Amino acid sequence: MDLKHRTITLRELLENPKSKAVLQRRFGKWMNHPLAGAAQSLTLAQLVELASKQLPRKTIQDTLQELERL
């Protein structure tokens, strides 16, 4: 999948069934958070920055690699 140098938005990722499934499987509890709707305009780069405060780097890197392989 083309992540547009990480400028792809969460909304775009969620519109694609395959990337949505990856995100749901890896981050299900956050995807159902009330603020997730407001985060849909954030870019992947912004999401990575926010997630890096809560998640291990390996989890983020593995997710990015999985999305790129789609």
| Domain of 62, in residue numbers | 4-69
Give the total number of structural domains in the chain: 1
pLDDT value at position 42?
96
Element (H, E) at 49: helix 44-51
Q: pLDDT band at 65, cuts 50/70/90?
A: very high
Per-residue pLDDT reduced to its tens digit, 1-45? 999 999 999 999 999 999 999 999 999 888 888 888 889 999 999
Residues contacting 10, CB < 8 A, separation 6+: 36, 39, 40, 41, 42, 43, 44, 47
Mean pLDDT computed over 51-69: 96
pLDDT value at position 37?
83
